[in-house]
Structure 1
Amino acid sequence: MIEREPQSHPVDADPSRESNGPAPGQTETILAAGAISESLSPAQEAEAANLDSISRILKASVQERQDVVLGRCQRFDVLAAQLELYPDRGLVRYRRASLQLDVANVSRVGIEKSWLRVEGGDQASRTVLFLHPNGSLTLTVVPDDQPAPAQTTAPEAAANEVLPPQQLPSPADNANAESATSEPPAQKLAQPEKPERVVITGRVGRVPELRETPNGHFVARMPLAIHTGEKTVWHTVLFFDDQAKQAAATRTKGEVITVIGYKHLRTIPTKNGTKQVEQIFAAAVQTPKPAKKS
């Protein structure tokens, strides 16, 4: 569950107040901050930052699970497909209604342009998989002594290609094929809900904290306070890459801004198990115009 603490004390909305976060008694909604906790080791921080980058590229929230055989599982629902990362086994699994694909001995999972690149293989060959946010993929297997391929066009371009008419089965052919087999048709995967779009206006709690992830991406973290009567709810907003640099350079403490972004849910480990936290990935920031004096 998402942790929220009741608040009973009024909050000082003075932007000059020296504070790095919510005061005692205030309510805090952790939006991606829990993913980069000070209690995590450097390796855990690097993994969390990489998962944030993958979530942003695939436009899908990460769901952390435990598989009885394969151990930790980090799952992303990408439209009608599912991507599962098993970091303890070096395994990446892609699934949809008609296909299951495993990439073993994974050596790299990273962002390349606007898609995800997965590399694995053995001594004889290498497997390179490119996955796009629409769920389409490109798979290449090359001998180990040849260079790994590069994806030069978006994978969805290949997915949108129309086959010649003679290669497309007719509806009658499909019906005959289904009736000829005794096996029931594969059950389609449930369509996951799209990330919720949010628009929030609040006061910047402190200058955004900028950091660089191990795979070369920039992430900026910024607390944003929303005052409602005597209560204040704190949000932590994340910016990525160019927006992260811009936010770190331009946003100031006490500034009132409007953030337009998408809410994500994430499961993170705790001392007593796991918990879910919210996270908002900023898509745009606006500065409200001052009210006209009458």
Structure 2
Amino acid sequence: MSRPIEQVESCDPIWQRLQEEAREMAASEPVLASYIYGTVLNHDSFDEMLSFHVARKLSSEEVSAMVLREVFEDVLKANPDIAAACRADMSAVFDRDPACHAYIQPLLFFKGFNAIQAHRFAHELWTGGRKAMALFIQSRVSELFAVDIHPAARFGRGIMMDHATGVVIGETAVVGDDVSMLHGVNLGGTGKESGDRHPKVGNGVLLGADAKILGNLTIGDCARVGAGSVVLQDVPANCTVAGIPAKVVGCAGCERPSRAMDHVIREEDKPKEK
């Protein structure tokens, strides 16, 4: 006999997994139990938990967690896709980061994950005309997490920002779905030009640590940018670039570099001499 439609629609595997992991962690580390209950187990839904958690992270003497939570609850009601994107980001971190052993870890402890979730709220506020509030969130994220993302920058789903320290992303930058980036990545401009001046990163891209991608250029789908590279021109899809300035040094070597997290350039990946 099939279950009622109401029960099927209420199924939320990520939320259920978070609650199970929260109970296990609280039992194994009683010192953190109050924090874990307050963040996860005292809430009735993923959306409720998310608005509370991000508000508490970003609160300050000037703007309380209670006020921020009301703002974020309104944002989630207007755009529930934010919570769906958060779930996708959480799954991405769990799948790709070998240091992540539970869904609850990025939520509680990983600043890259939390920086992205805060940015999602800031972006919605920015596009809704509440630019001062969006800039306040950007400022708090920069202070707390050492990550500076302009509220106008656009992100897809399934983003993994590993370690995150020193990441800078400019106003007109676009990051596609299923992208992984490491610490120190800069999606920046090349000077004082105005208008559309920042990179557009395609789907499935892997950006190595301290990669600098500058100007209104395109990183094609499923490309790789080597650690420490400076990219000043378009990168073709499925290609690997490295160096200063970055040049094509091979093919990506796999269908989705962002998921494989494979930074190694092998002989079979290198361009064949004609």
Whether TM-score is above 0.5 comes out as no
The answer to which structure has the higher helix fraction is 2
| Higher radius of gyration, 1 or 2 | 1
Relative contact order: is structure 1 or structure 2 higher (C-alpha 8 Å, sep ≥ 6)?
A: 1
* TM-score, normalization by structure 1: 0.23
* TM-score, normalization by structure 2: 0.24
The answer to which structure has the higher strand fraction is 1
